[in-house]
Amino acid sequence: MLIYITELLQRLVWLPIRVLFFIFLHYRVSGVGNVLLLKRRKAGIIFASNHAWELDPIFIASALPFFSNVLPLFFVSLPASEYKHLGPWAFIAGGSIFKAWGAYPALIGQQDLSKTLAHHLRLLQKRKNVCIFPEGMLRRAALYPPPKPGVSYLAAEAGATIIPVRLRHSGPFSAGKFFTWRLSMSLTFGKPLALCDLIQEKTVYTLEDHRLVAHRLMEKIRDL
């Protein structure tokens, strides 16, 4: 049932959000044709993106074509406890509203990726599309945190194609800057990537293989 709520919510707010972002952020989207290339697939699509603003999940979902089967888009998020630093916003970022939007937490602290990302793998196997931020956190500084291996694990286990996504933000987000036209943002969808585009095809991939794939993928995202 929650899957249908997510699709309804994302489609209901698609147009108002696009208009709002266009007015206040000079919002630009390119590379949508790369998404539409993937019409027939045995698993869902993995959208892998950099991450700098709390609103990035909304940006990505609203950038997808409305009249396509790409929506709804589900997200790999952190457990609610990881959002306490957001103060009042933690109620949204880690609560029912966030989950209704399609965000499901990874079970961090597990040593086994099959447990950490079990729900997201099931979604992909049901041909639902999942967005993951390989860096695993909001990137506030110029330094790039080492990407997590989860994106590679999901691609390998589900046989999913990866769409790299590059978000360009003009600076730190704040409501004051947003409503006074002092921010801008653009989004680029890259060409679809199979796991074999990032590493030699194998029967079994090790954790180090997954880390290498995640690193190479983030390089491709930064090059978009």
> Given this model, what pLDDT does residue 133 score?
94
User: Is the Cα torsion angle 218, 103, 136, 89 positive or negative in sign?
Assistant: positive
For the segment 187-203, what is each residue's pLDDT rounded down to a tens digit?
999 999 999 999 998 88
3-state secondary structure of 216: helix
pLDDT of 165 strictly over 90: yes
Residues 6+ apart with CB under 8 A from 58: 17, 101
pTM of the model: 0.91
> Given this model, what pLDDT does residue 143 score?
63
**Fold of the domain spanning 2-223:** Glycerol-3-phosphate (1)-acyltransferase (3.40.1130)
pLDDT of 61 strictly over 60: yes
> Given this model, what pLDDT does residue 32 score?
94
Per-domain boundaries in the chain: 2-223
Higher-confidence residue of 74 and 79: namely 74
What b/e readout covers 88-105, taking b as 16+ CB neighbours within 10 angstroms? eebeebbeeebbebbbbb
Q: What is the average pLDDT score of the chain?
A: 86
Six token digits for residue 85: 């630093």
**Mean pLDDT across 178-190:** 88
Amino acid at residue number 218: M
Q: Where does the pLDDT of residue 185 fall: very low under 50, low under 70, confident under 90, or very high at 90 and above? A: confident
